[in-house]
């Protein structure tokens, strides 16, 4: 038997996977703790090392290398379930496996930023390595035969899988080795060679001649199919120069073996005439096999046996049997027996696979958990908003009636009623007006920082687009890569949304500043020491009798006010701390149905947890209506009975009560606004990093494509395609007749607020001038700021139809850049753009 053929390997390029993968994980799992982030970073580094080891392990063609490359492929499969694979901006470059190129290496290559493309290329090389390991096996031992059969069938299964997987992973034109015609040839070749090894084992095991004849008949048909597929115009120039002659020789050889072993069946049944006819045909076929394959010793042992048997049988027929020798074309086929077939891919492929990213949950589960948490926070924030708005309304009513100050005994030291004295102490304790002024002063700087990051990000996109358009206009149709406008549509959409977020935040800042200016005088007074407040108070017109019936009634009502406020604080605290873990339920749904119906599952659990608290909120707001009516009625009786209403001191007390409420609101607004800007900065940095990854990949592609176009004119035109050789005759009738022995074989050719509505941040999305930043429960930063994930809602939790990342681009033929590996990201204007 002649040697088996091993498939050449695709040549990889080293590339930095650490920075882009860290960026993507940071944006996807933005709620991770510092410890979790450290674990993710360590896993990314391990993944990078694993890739660098695996891609060069392909070239060590030993059985031990397979486990290493299997583990890397398994890790890719595990990783793509935990991130959005089409968002990963890593320029994976692989050269064509069959490209001869020059002394400096092959020239045909393809670079994509898709993890699916990396997966396809790794799979191709796994199948190629399996074929090479099979070729190296000693076929004179049972262990070698069994391993070769297993690896060749596994290789065929991978090439079969790649025929369906490649179009999805490489939407543009792939390199020749990944074309459908090439993959069809390689699958058929692996099956044919596996069948050949089965035949060798059958012969070695001394199986019946009839079985071996059937196996050889099927092997001949397999090689006929391979030869036909290899000579297609689209692929015939890919193969090594000896491949087509070798396959042609094998087809003729197995046809010859079919006739030889069937002749042995005839000999055992004394069908001498048929035996002679088959032996004569076998001898012609052996000669053709040696001529076609260019190997004068190919199947020589079997050739000699056929000649000996022919001489013996001819002599016996002449002297004993005198049977008529039938025409070979009239003889029936011995039938076929197929043992070789593509084996389905194992999952996982490695026997001892361990997922590096065990701390990352499946991306669908993570999205469902995030959406569920955001849904819960939206409901919690809505309920807290109801409580706070009710409390603000109650405070406004009390302030307008100068309560509780009107019914309190004035303090002799400060000249203030106890309630106002406590409020003044609280304002001073929180930094007074200076605290508010400082935070107001910081807002423009925070705003400017975010605006600068977004401006720089958009500049990177604009410069990349302008460069692409310029070169497209220069090279016309020769500039074959996808246009920037198509690739950056989602980037542009999300940059626009960030710009809207910043614009809305500016409006919210104005509302806060206006509220401060309207209450500045009262806050200044509350910030003063007690003696200065007393000096600022107008003289009192008289004191109130504390034993008056109306005073006693109002005091009781003020106690009811404090009670309802305390209850609301408790309910608000319970709302903020309400938690539930949907992970197990989501995992069960994912395993059972293959999908997660997040809205249905989340709403059922949210109802169980929050329904009692929602009932308390409703009861509290309804009870307030009766309480306010009682206070207004009692205050009217108080004014009639005492006449202490409308003097200048009472008016100032009202102003101070209103100023205190505004101070509390402003402090909360400014803290939330500062947090908003700081969180937005982190998200914009992640967004900018993604744009930088994309721009770097496009720049690398541009340089490679420019190099190809510059040198294109100096390349020689490919030689004319030679005429197709005639197909060999197939026992099964699948091919045409074999040319006469010795005829030459045709030569082979060469080769709502600025934040989402549920976060309730700046106006105009659902906020009011009184509460421009009403964030109550700190939710995970919404995926609205992740430029590939879901964008602001309320009410829309479905993932389908929401902006995802840009489709993986076709990054022509550019190499991985060492600048990229060393962290050379274009945060500043890249040179040469």
DSSP tag of 295: -
| 387 and 511 both lie in a single domain | no
* 358: DSSP letter: T
Report pLDDT for 283: 95
**pLDDT of 17 above 70:** yes
pLDDT at 710 over 80: no
CATH number at residue 657: 1.20.140.50
Residue by residue, DSSP assigns 261-280 as HHHHHHHHTT-HHHHHHHHH
293 with 309, same domain: the answer is: yes
- Alpha-carbon span 661 to 303, nearest angstrom: 106
Q: Which residues pair with 12 in a beta bridge?
A: 94
Within 8 A by CB and 6+ apart from 564, the residues are 394, 620, 623, 624, 627
Q: What is residue 461's three-state secondary structure?
A: helix
* pLDDT greater than 50 at residue 826: no
pLDDT at 649: 67
Does a structural domain hold residue 609?
Answer: yes
pLDDT at residue number 366? 79
Q: Give the pLDDT of residue 832.
A: 39
CA atoms of 623 and 121, how far apart (whole Å): 69
| pLDDT at 583 (0 to 100) | 80
Q: Both tokens of residue 367?
A: 């999205």
Residue with tokens 């569920």: 372
**pLDDT above 90 for 815:** no
Q: How far is CA 177 from CA 109, 481, 669, in A?
A: 10, 20, 61
What CATH number corresponds to the domain at position 26? Answer: 1.25.40.280
C-beta separation of 731 from 219 below 8 A: no
Residue 740: inside a domain: no
CA distance 91 to 113: 4
Question: Looking at 298-312, 327-341, 426-440, which range is the least confident one?
Answer: 426-440
Give the domain-ending residue among 642, 670, 689: 642
Q: How many residues does the chain have?
A: 833
Q: Mean of the pLDDT values across residues 44-69?
A: 91
Q: How far is CA 424 from CA 259, 416, 531, 631, 668, in A?
A: 110, 9, 12, 24, 17
* Residues 155 and 12 occupy one common structural domain: yes
Do 230 and 182 belong together in one domain?
A: no
Do the Cβ atoms of 55 and 71 come closer than 8 Å?
A: no
Residue, of 214 and 528, whose pLDDT is higher: 214
Angle of helix 432-475 relative to helix 489-526, nearest 10 degrees?
170
Beta carbons of 700 and 816 less than 8 angstroms apart: yes
Q: Are residues 92 and 131 in the same domain?
A: yes
**Would you say 38 and 11 are in contact if contact means Cβ atoms under 8 Å apart?**
no
Q: Which residue carries 């990314």 as its tokens?
A: 44
Burial (CB count within 10 angstroms: exposed 0-12, middle 13-18, buried 19+), residue 100: middle
Helix (H) / strand (E) element for 666: namely helix 648-712
pLDDT at 556: 87
Higher pLDDT, 580 or 779: 580
C-alpha dist (Å) from residue 472 to 172, 478, 492, 806: 18, 8, 20, 20
Residue 252 and residue 125 share a domain: no
Residue 783 lies in a domain: no
Evaluate whether residue 139 is within a structural domain. Answer: yes
825 in a structural domain? no
Higher pLDDT, 700 or 104: 700
What local confidence, expressed as pLDDT, does residue 778 receive?
39
Q: What DSSP character marks residue 768?
A: B
**C-alpha–C-alpha distance, residues 777 and 218, integer Å:** 71
468 pLDDT higher than 80: yes
- The fraction of the chain above a pLDDT of 70, given in percent, is 81
DSSP labels for 705-760? HHHHHHHHTTSPPPPPPPPPPPPPP-TTS-S-PPPPTTPPPPPP-----SS-GGG-
Question: How many whole angstroms separate alpha carbon 85 and alpha carbon 25?
Answer: 11
Q: 319 phi and psi, to 5 degrees?
A: -100, -20
DSSP string over 675-708 = HHHHHHHHHHHHHHHHHHHHHHHHHHHHHHHHHH
Which DSSP symbol is given to 767? -
Say yes or no to pLDDT of 314 above 90: yes
Q: Measured between alpha carbons, how far is 488 from 471 in angstroms, rounded to an integer? A: 17
Share of residues in the chain with pLDDT > 90 (%): 41
Average pLDDT over residues 239-260: 95
Distance of alpha carbon 808 from the chain centroid: 11
Rounded to 5 degrees, φ, ψ at 110 are -145, 135
Work out the number of other CB atoms within 10 angstroms of the CB of residue 746.
15
Mean pLDDT across the stretch 163-178? 89
Alpha-carbon dihedral of residues 465, 466, 470, 471, nearest 10 degrees?
-40
Weakest mean pLDDT among 210-219, 284-293, 409-418: 409-418
Q: Are 321 and 275 in contact (CB under 8 A)?
A: no
Give the residue-averaged pLDDT of 801-812: 37
- How many Cα atoms sit within 13 Å of 688 on the Cβ side? 21
Taking each helix axis as running N to C, give the angle between helix 598-642 and helix 583-593, from 0 to 180 degrees, rounded to the nearest 10.
150
On whether both 564 and 660 belong to a single domain, the answer is no
The residue among 642, 671, 692 that closes a domain is: 642
Q: How far is CA 382 from CA 365, 373, 386, 543, 767, in A?
A: 26, 14, 6, 44, 11
Region 595-618 average pLDDT? 88
The verdict on 298 and 197 lying in the same domain is no
φ and ψ at residue 763, rounded to 5 degrees: -65, 160
Least confident of 93-102, 694-703, 779-788: 779-788
pLDDT, residue 703, reads: 79
Choice among 175-179, 317-321, 495-499, 649-653 with the minimum mean pLDDT: 649-653
Phi/psi at 550 (5° precision): -65, -35
Per-residue pLDDT, averaged over 391-398, amounts to: 88
More confident residue, 290 or 592: 290
Better-predicted residue by pLDDT, 815 or 467:
467
Average pLDDT over residues 468-492: 84
pLDDT score of 40 more than 50 = yes
* pLDDT at residue 768 greater than cutoff 70: no
- Sequence-ordered list of residues with C-beta below 8 angstroms from that of 466, at least 6 positions apart, any chain: none
CA angle (442 as vertex; 436, 443 as ends), nearest 5: 95
Q: Which helix (H) or strand (E) holds 112?
A: strand 109-112
What's residue 620's pLDDT? 92
What does the pLDDT read at residue 536? 72
In this structure, is residue 748 part of a structural domain? no
156 in the same domain as 105? yes
Q: Mean of the pLDDT values across residues 332-339? A: 94
Q: What is the pLDDT of residues 424-447, one digit of tens each?
A: 888 888 888 888 889 988 888 999
Structure confidence at residue 158 as a pLDDT band (50, 70, 90) = very high
Q: Which of 210-214, 295-299, 614-618, 791-795 has the highest mean pLDDT?
A: 210-214
Centroid of chain to Cα 674? 32
pLDDT confidence of 477, banded at 50, 70, 90? confident
Angstrom CA distances, 655 to 222, 282, 436, 659, stand at 96, 114, 18, 6
Domain-located, residue 332:
no
Residue 595 belongs to domain with CATH number: 1.20.120.560
Confirm if 709 and 474 have CB atoms less than 8 A apart: no
**Same-domain status, 574 and 681:** no
Whether the predicted pLDDT of 823 surpasses 60: no
349 shares a domain with 373: no
CA pair distance 79, 17, nearest whole angstrom: 13
Cα separation, 154 vs 345, whole angstroms: 7
Residue 795 lies in a domain: no
- Mean predicted lDDT score pLDDT of the chain: 80
**For residue 820, what pLDDT band results from cuts at 50, 70 and 90?**
very low
Nearest to 540 by CA among 414, 423, 635: 414
Q: Which domain holds residue 557?
A: 363-401+549-642
Query: Are the C-beta atoms of residues 77 and 347 closer than 8 Å to each other?
Result: yes
Task: Look at residues 588, 611, 642 and tell me which one is the last residue of a structural domain.
Answer: 642
Q: Which of 360, 401, 384 is nearest to 645 (CA)?
A: 401
Residue 810, H or E segment:
strand 810-811
**449: pLDDT confidence band, cut at 50, 70 and 90?**
very high
Residue 99 near residue 106, CB atoms below 8 Å: yes
Closest CA to 63 of 4, 143, 129: 129
Burial level of 108, CB count in 10 A (0-12/13-18/19+)? middle
Domain count, the chain: 4
Judgement on whether residues 417 and 389 belong to the same structural domain of the protein: no
Name which of 291-295, 546-550, 699-703, 773-777 the model is least confident about.
773-777
């Amino acid at each position: 038997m002649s040697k088996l053929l091993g498939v050449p390997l695709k040549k990889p390029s080293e590339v930095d996977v650490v920075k882009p993968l860290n960026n993507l994980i940071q944006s996807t799992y933005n709620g991770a703790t510092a410890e979790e982030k450290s674990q993710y970073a360590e896993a990314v580094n391990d993944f990078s090392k694993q890739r660098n080891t695996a891609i060069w392990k392909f070239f060590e063609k030993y059985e031990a290398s397979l486990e290493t490359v299997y583990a890397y492929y398994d890790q890719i499969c595990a990783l793509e379930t935990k991130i959005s694979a089409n968002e990963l901006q890593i320029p994976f470059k692989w050269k064509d496996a069959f490209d001869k190129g020059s002394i400096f290496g092959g020239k045909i290559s393809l670079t994509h930023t898709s993890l699916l493309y990396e997966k396809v290329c790794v799979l191709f090389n796994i199948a190629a390595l399996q074929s090479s390991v099979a070729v190296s096996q000693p076929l004179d031992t049972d262990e070698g035969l069994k391993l070769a059969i297993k690896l060749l069938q596994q290789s065929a299964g991978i090439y079969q899988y790649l025929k369906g997987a490649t179009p999805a992973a490489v939407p543009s034109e792939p390199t020749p080795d990944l074309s459908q015609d090439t993959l069809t040839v390689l699958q058929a070749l692996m099956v044919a060679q596996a069948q050949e090894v089965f035949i060798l084992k059958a012969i070695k095991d001394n199986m019946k001649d009839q079985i071996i004849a059937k196996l050889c008949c099927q092997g001949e048909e397999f090689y006929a199919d391979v030869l036909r597929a290899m000579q297609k115009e689209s692929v015939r120039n890919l193969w090594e120069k000896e491949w087509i002659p070798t396959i042609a020789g094998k087809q003729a050889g197995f046809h010859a073996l079919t006739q030889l072993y069937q002749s042995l069946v005839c000999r055992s049944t004394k069908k001498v005439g048929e035996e002679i006819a088959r032996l004569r045909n076998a001898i012609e076929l052996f000669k053709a096999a040696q001529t076609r394959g260019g190997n004068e010793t190919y199947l020589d042992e079997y050739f000699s046996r056929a000649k000996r048997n022919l001489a013996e049988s001819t002599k016996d027929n002449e002297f004993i049997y005198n049977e008529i020798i039938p025409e070979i074309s009239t003889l029936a086929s011995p039938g076929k027996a197929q043992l070789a077939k593509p084996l389905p891919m194992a999952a996982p492929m490695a026997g001892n696979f361990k997922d590096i990213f065990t701390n990352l949950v499946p991306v669908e589960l993570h999205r469902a958990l995030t959406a569920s948490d955001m849904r819960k926070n939206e409901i919690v924030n809505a309920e807290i908003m109801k409580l706070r708005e009710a409390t603000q309304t109650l405070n406004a009513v009390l302030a307008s009636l100068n309560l509780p100050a009107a019914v309190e005994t004035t303090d002799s030291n400060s000249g203030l009623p106890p309630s106002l004295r406590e409020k003044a102490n609280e304002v001073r304790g929180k930094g007074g007006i200076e605290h508010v002024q400082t935070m107001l002063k910081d807002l423009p700087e925070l705003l400017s920082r975010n605006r600068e990051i977004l401006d720089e990000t958009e500049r990177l996109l604009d410069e990349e687009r302008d460069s692409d358009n310029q070169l497209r206009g220069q090279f016309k149709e020769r500039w074959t890569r996808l246009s920037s406008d198509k690739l950056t549509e989602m980037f542009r959409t999300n940059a626009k949304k960030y710009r809207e977020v910043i614009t809305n935040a500016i409006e919210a800042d104005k509302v806060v500043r206006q509220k401060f200016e309207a209450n500045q005088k009262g806050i200044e007074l509350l910030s003063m020491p007690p003696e200065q407040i007393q000096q600022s108070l107008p003289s009192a017109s008289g004191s109130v009798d504390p034993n008056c019936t109306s005073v006693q009634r109002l005091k009781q009502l003020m106690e009811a006010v404090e009670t309802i406020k305390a209850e609301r604080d408790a309910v608000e605290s319970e709302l903020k701390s309400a938690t539930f873990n949907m992970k197990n339920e989501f995992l069960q749904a994912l395993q059972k149905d293959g999908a997660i119906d997040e809205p249905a599952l989340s709403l059922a659990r949210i109802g169980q947890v929050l329904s009692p608290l929602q009932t308390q909120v409703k009861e509290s707001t309804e009870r307030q209506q009766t309480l306010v009516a009682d206070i207004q009625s009692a205050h009217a009786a108080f004014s009639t009975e005492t006449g202490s209403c409308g003097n200048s001191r009472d008016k100032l007390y009202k102003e101070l009560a209103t100023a205190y409420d505004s101070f509390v609101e402003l402090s909360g607004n400014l803290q939330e606004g500062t947090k908003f800007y700081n969180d937005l900065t982190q998200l914009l940095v992640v967004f900018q990093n993604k744009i930088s990854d994309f721009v770097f990949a496009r720049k690398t592609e541009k340089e490679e494509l420019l190099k190809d176009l510059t040198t294109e004119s100096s390349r020689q035109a490919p030689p004319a395609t030679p005429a197709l050789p005639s197909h060999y005759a197939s026992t099964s009738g699948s091919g045409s007749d074999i040319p006469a022995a010795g005829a030459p074989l045709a030569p082979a050719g060469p080769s709502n607020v600025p934040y989402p509505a549920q976060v309730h941040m700046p106006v105009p999305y659902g906020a009011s001038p009184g509460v421009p930043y009403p964030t109550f429960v700190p939710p995970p930063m919404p995926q609205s700021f992740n430029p590939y994930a879901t964008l602001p809602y309320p009410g829309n939790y479905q993932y389908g139809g929401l902006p995802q990342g840009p489709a993986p681009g076709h990054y022509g033929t550019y190499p991985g850049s060492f600048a990229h590996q060393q962290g050379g990201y274009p945060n500043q204007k890249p040179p040469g753009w």
